[in-house]
Amino acid sequence: MPENRIYAQDTIAAIATPVGRGGIGIIKISGPDAIKIIQPFFRSGSFDPIRPNTHRIYYGKVIDPVDGCELDEVLVSYMQGPTSYTGEDVVEINCHSGLVVLQQLLNLVINSGARPAEPGEFTKRAFLNGRIDLTQAEAVVDVIEAQTDTGLKLAARQMKGALTKKAAEVQQKLLEVTAFLEASIDFPEDDLDDLNPHTMVQKVQHAAETIKNLIATFDEGRLYRAGIQVVIVGKPNVGKSSLLNALVGDTRAIVTAIPGTTRDVIHETISIQGIPVKLLDTAGLHQGNDEIEKIGIDITLSKIPEADLVLLVLDGSSNLDERDWSIIETVRDTSAIIIVNKSDLPQVLSVQKLPNEAYHKNIVKVSALYHHGIDELKKTITHTIIHEKHDITSNILISNARHKNALEKTLASLQIVLKGFQEQLAAELVAVDLQAALSYLGELTGETTTDDILDMIFSRFCIGK
């Protein structure tokens, strides 16, 4: 639980579902006056506002207290703190979804004494009340924003506290070493045979190794969370749009035999082995014939440096020309895969004919028209962007840059501690670096995180979460 965290004990409310037409809309209320707030307008034969039963749903009607008109039939859920999401008394009004009805009900709640919630304030209160730690709170956003099944599973695992448990294991080992150091400082004349210095060093080494292994998962974890941007480039009529359609599995881009059909960037996101991949089909690179075409080509050139991966498409049924050579030179210093397309046609271009600049690139032969080689291409994309694959079914993968930063600072302090043990420094000096490591580890879970960082984290949340 975070220490010395204070917040206003008022009652907050917000619409917790996307505003628009739909079957159900939810208004969430949290705070000491949650029950009192709904009394002026909620009518139900089974609801006792003095002694309501917790974790129960009540059917009733919302009545406008001004004119007595019925506004909606609703279901009201009541969850008494601390066994609620926020740790406070929580009321949720399930009504029909629509801009007018939701706004009217929210206005009734606000007029009854609630305050409009700030972005992420419900989850922030859950954190401040010790219901969840900071890594679990951040996982809520990751669950909402997950783009693939794998990303969702990783976020759900973190929301359950997988990273928290691992941090707690490390923290326990470091606290044991801290106790040893404090004992050696306070009782230097005593025989402390039970506190073997070698054992303490092993504990720190094990903690450092655990932290190092977690940091090593960041690059892969970030991929599953944020995904990558892949730009498809090549000269006109080599099959870039056909390749996009083949990867997507649908007709997303217009395909014709006329060169230069694609003039603007076409975006499409797919999942390749659980990784969100944003594909950008771009205008063919050549000497543009009109102003619109030239703009499209300029956009293509601007996207190449921004890409995590470039798919350079060549026509296998024809020889390389000056435009191919120019494009190969353009992507020479990028992470790129060379795709020799149109493998269904008689092949003229051989791999041996590719210039030296292409030798260090992965080369895949495909027929985008008939979807031949697409599975192999997807595997090559995965192998190109993931250099060390972890078992995502059992391992913890960190995907948040803040987590990585806190772990790196923890590891740096632990390495100084180990050096201090090796050089037999005074226990007081080693203890200082050990406390620093514990403080950095506390930043990870939120125990020692500053209010400014908390505000920044929860500002990413939507209102109502």
Q: How far is Cα of residue 342 from the mean position of the Cα atoms in its chain?
A: 37
Residue 1, domain member (yes or no): no
Residue 87, domain member (yes or no): yes
Within this chain, do residues 354 and 407 fall inside the same structural domain, yes or no?
no
The DSSP symbol for 32 reads T
Q: Using the 3D structure, point to which of 133, 167, 183 is the last residue of a domain.
A: 133
Give the list of residues 6+ apart from residue 306 with CB closer than 8 angstroms, or none.
Answer: 229, 231
Note the pLDDT of residue 357: 56
pTM for the model stands at: 0.79
Q: Which H, E and C letters describe 404-439, residue by residue?
A: HHHHHHHHHHHHHHHHHHHCCCCHHHHHHHHHHHHH
3-state secondary structure of 318: coil
Within this chain, do residues 80 and 171 fall inside the same structural domain, yes or no?
no
Do the beta carbons of residue 445 and residue 125 sit within 8 Å? no
Instruction: Round to whole Å and give the CA distance between 213 and 11.
Output: 43
Q: In CATH, what number is assigned to the domain containing residue 31?
A: 3.30.1360.120
Within this chain, do residues 129 and 74 fall inside the same structural domain, yes or no?
yes
Do the beta carbons of residue 272 and residue 376 sit within 8 Å? no
Within this chain, do residues 146 and 286 fall inside the same structural domain, yes or no?
no
Do the beta carbons of residue 221 and residue 397 sit within 8 Å? yes
- CB hemisphere CA count around 203 (13 angstroms): 20
What ranges make up the beta strands (E) of 123-206?
Answer: none
What ranges make up the beta strands (E) of 291-436?
Answer: 309-315, 336-341, 362-365
Give the list of residues 6+ apart from residue 57 with CB closer than 8 angstroms, or none.
Answer: 75, 76, 77
List beta partners, residue 215.
none
Within this chain, do residues 85 and 146 fall inside the same structural domain, yes or no?
no
Note the pLDDT of residue 35: 95
- Tokens for 59? 């059917």
Residue 463, domain member (yes or no): no
Note the pLDDT of residue 179: 84
Instruction: Round to whole Å and give the CA distance between 216 and 193.
Output: 37
Note the pLDDT of residue 240: 87
Do the beta carbons of residue 398 and residue 407 sit within 8 Å? yes
- For residue 353, count other CB atoms closer than 10 A to its CB: 11
Reply yes or no: is the peptide bond before residue 82 cis, omega within 30 of 0: yes
Query: Alpha carbon of 339 to those of 227, 241, 325, 372, 380: distances in Å?
Result: 21, 13, 14, 12, 11
Note the pLDDT of residue 438: 93
Residue-range definition of the domain harbouring residue 16: 12-133
Instruction: Round to whole Å and give the CA distance between 167 and 155.
Output: 17
Note the pLDDT of residue 264: 53
Note the pLDDT of residue 287: 52
The letter for the amino acid at 311 is L
Phi/psi-derived region of residue 373, left when phi > 0, alpha when psi is between -120 and 50, beta in every other case: left
Within this chain, do residues 61 and 161 fall inside the same structural domain, yes or no?
no
Q: In CATH, what number is assigned to the domain containing residue 423?
A: 1.20.120.430
The letter for the amino acid at 206 is H
Residue 184, domain member (yes or no): yes
Backbone angles phi, psi at 53, to 5 degrees: -80, 130
Residue 461, domain member (yes or no): no
- Tokens for 373? 């080689």
Within this chain, do residues 68 and 194 fall inside the same structural domain, yes or no?
no
Query: Alpha carbon of 270 to those of 9, 53, 243, 273: distances in Å?
Result: 44, 46, 13, 10
Helix axes 218-226, 149-159, angle to 10 degrees: 120
For the chain, the domain total comes to 3
Instruction: Round to whole Å and give the CA distance between 460 and 465.
Output: 10
pLDDT tens string for the chain (465 positions)?
455 455 668 999 999 988 777 789 999 999 999 999 999 999 998 888 888 899 999 999 999 998 999 999 999 999 999 999 999 999 999 999 888 999 999 999 999 999 999 999 999 999 999 999 999 999 998 998 888 888 898 889 888 889 999 999 999 999 988 888 887 776 655 554 555 678 888 999 999 999 999 999 998 899 898 899 999 988 888 888 889 999 988 665 444 444 444 445 688 889 998 899 999 887 665 454 555 455 556 666 777 888 899 999 999 999 888 888 888 888 888 888 999 999 999 998 877 767 665 656 788 999 999 999 999 999 999 988 887 666 766 678 898 999 999 999 999 999 999 999 888 888 888 889 999 999 999 999 888 777 777 888 888 777 777
Instruction: Round to whole Å and give the CA distance between 296 and 133.
Output: 47
Within this chain, do residues 28 and 92 fall inside the same structural domain, yes or no?
yes
Do the beta carbons of residue 17 and residue 464 sit within 8 Å? yes
